[in-house]
Chains A and B, each alone.
Chain A
């Protein structure tokens, strides 16, 4: 069934249409397309290997527990699949929020910044400024995300607040918080490099 907000026929694209897909991509048929490369050389053993379910463990990234903390020594944290796709993610900026920007990239390779964010199927911006001050990142369509990069040129501290109130504190002097979506899990990455302006952030992150 096609969604009423599906892309316009004839291949015309707008800033919103790729993100409006209501359903995530179809799962490949296991018999023809293996979900993952089996590591066992013994076919019988390989047949019993479960499909990977925990991307964070695969990459050795710790999970956010009761609270989280990002700094130069602990630059990455991962959210569970539930934390990654229910509600929204609140990024709270303490300090000067002027000049902050957000760069985003979707699964279909489209990119943009805060002044050009797509609407999702619920007609909410992918990411929007919050009154706290800070930003809100909607998670209902997180599977359509590839990455979101928040740049904080004048922030003293930044916190990421999850749906259940869990706070991930990001130590000063974090200048960039990068959020990556991988296999349904969101990864938070701390970056304290000194970027002179957003064009340097764009260059560093390949936007």
Chain B
């Protein structure tokens, strides 16, 4: 089966593409443009959201320093050991997701260090994709980094519930205020 490539705003059914799969891997990859100064440091995270579209709590933001959501349905893979070879990987157990969770936002942000943090101007080839546990790619979205270059956070995509299905939407929404604005939008405190 050839993977489905989405453009911004498009969606596809994960449930239909991977009907027998209860665990999917969300893989993130990107390339940081080399420079002589400090490098842009990109972080991948997943925000588990309730019916209001907001993070269920601050503990539902899964990233390298909070590797497991409270119900263990979303797990950050600390060493990229899942098949696929992505730079960062997040494991989503669709079967474990509680009924109050309606979506999972998949975010890349530039770490807002006070010392020349950079923006997505310094990032190329950013991709988010969905794989099964064997590493076979089902969906991919190549983020238009030129369109979000001046921003420092991007909601790349979301997994969302539609009836009995889980779907994947390519979002590609940049946030000029970076992860602070993402936190404000999704209702959690940094």
Contacts and interface: CB of A to CB of B under 8 A. Distances in A.
**A associates with B:** yes
Which label, helix, strand, loop or mixed, suits the secondary structure of the A interface?
loop
Contacts of B59: 53
Nearest to B112: A87
B190 A82 contact: yes
Interface string B25-66: 000000000000111110100000000000000110101111
Interface stretch (B78-86, B131-139, B154-162): B78-86
Contacts of A143: 64-65
A1 B64 CA distance: 17
Contact of B180 (A128, A142, A163): A163
A124 B115 contact: yes
Nearest to A130: B114
A81 interface: yes
Contact of A164 (B61, B67, B189): B189
A84 B65 CA distance: 8
Nearest to A184: B65
Interface stretch (A18-26, A98-106, A169-177): A18-26
A125 B190 CA distance: 23
Nearest to A140: B111
B105 interface: no
User: By CB atoms of chain B within 10 A, which of A23, A51, A84 has the most?
Assistant: A23
A140 B180 contact: no
Contact of B190 (A1, A123, A163): A163
B164 to A, nearest CB: 29
Contacts, number: 92
B190 A136 contact: no
A172 B132 CA distance: 57
A138 B115 contact: yes
Contacts of B61: 82
B41 A88 contact: no
B78 A24 contact: yes
Contact of A23 (B80, B85, B113, B115): B80
Contacts of B70: 53
Nearest to A5: B39
Interface in B92-134: 111-115
A84 B190 CA distance: 9
Nearest to B86: A1
Contacts of B67: 27
A81 B112 CA distance: 16
Interface of B: 37-41, 43, 58-59, 61, 63-68, 70, 78-81, 85, 87, 111-115, 179-180, 188-190
List the 3 closest pairs (A to B, CB-CB), nearest first.
Answer: A85-B65, A122-B41, A87-B112
